[in-house]
Amino acid sequence: MRGERIALGVLGLVLLAGCGRPYISPLAPPPYRDRVMAPYEVTWRALIKALARENAPLRAVAKDSGVVASDDFVTPIGVYADCGRFGDVPVEGGALVTFTVFVQPVNSKETEVQVNAKMRTQGHRKGNSGKLKSDPVFQCASTGRWESNLLDAVRALVRE
């Protein structure tokens, strides 16, 4: 009798767990790479000016090696960060984003820019239901919008 109750309880828990929606993480895209049709010095100045206009919190700026690294900043999930979904319901909330930009000359008239982004949830929920939770932390993938907007701003500043 007692063994049957335990077996029924375990079966009930398994059935309830089977009804839950699994978390599906996003596929991480490769680093964002693009070229700017301007010399390294001009591109570097435009990049720094574009980051200042974005009010990006910078941790390290090394012109000699062509590297800019940011501190964490918060962005809404879905704008710059894709943090996956629970079944058919997207994860919503806020994500912490850091980026590293690498700038290197290709030739005297062209510069290559690569942006590596790392993102994770800060506060999240399933869809628009309930309060934001900080645990567990999910890794997110970039939507590519921030990087694309940054390079568009750099190109516009180069033309000025």
Q: How many domains does the chain have?
A: 1
CA distance 68 to 100: 6
CA distance 67 to 104: 9
58-117 residue pLDDT tens = 999 999 999 999 999 998 888 888 888 888 888 888 899 999 999 999 999 999 999 999
- Please give the pLDDT value at position 63: 94
Handedness of CA 72, 50, 94, 143 (dihedral sign): negative
Single-letter code of the amino acid located at 51? L
The CA-CA-CA angle for residues 110, 157, 49, to 5°, reads 105
What token pair was written down for 153? Answer: 């701003």
Q: Is there a domain that residue 15 lies in?
A: no
CB 97 within 8 A of CB 75: yes
6-20 residue pLDDT tens = 655 555 555 444 455
Q: Is there a domain that residue 1 lies in?
A: no
DSSP state of 37: S
Q: Is there a domain that residue 4 lies in?
A: no
* C-alpha closest to that of 103 among 39, 40, 30: 40
CA distance 150 to 41: 17
Q: Is there a domain that residue 3 lies in?
A: no
- Please give the pLDDT value at position 132: 82
CA distance 81 to 66: 25
Q: Is 31 exposed, middle or buried (0-12, 13-18, 19+ CB in 10 A)?
A: middle
Tell me the mean pLDDT in the region 43-66.
94
Q: Is there a domain that residue 143 lies in?
A: yes
Chain centroid, CA 39 distance in Å: 29
CATH number for position 143: 3.30.530
Q: Is there a domain that residue 137 lies in?
A: yes
CA distance 79 to 75: 7
CA distance 4 to 22: 29
Structural domain boundaries, residue 52: 23-159
Q: Is there a domain that residue 9 lies in?
A: no
> What is the model's pTM?
0.77
Q: Is there a domain that residue 78 lies in?
A: yes
Confidence grade of residue 51 (pLDDT, cut at 50, 70, 90): very high
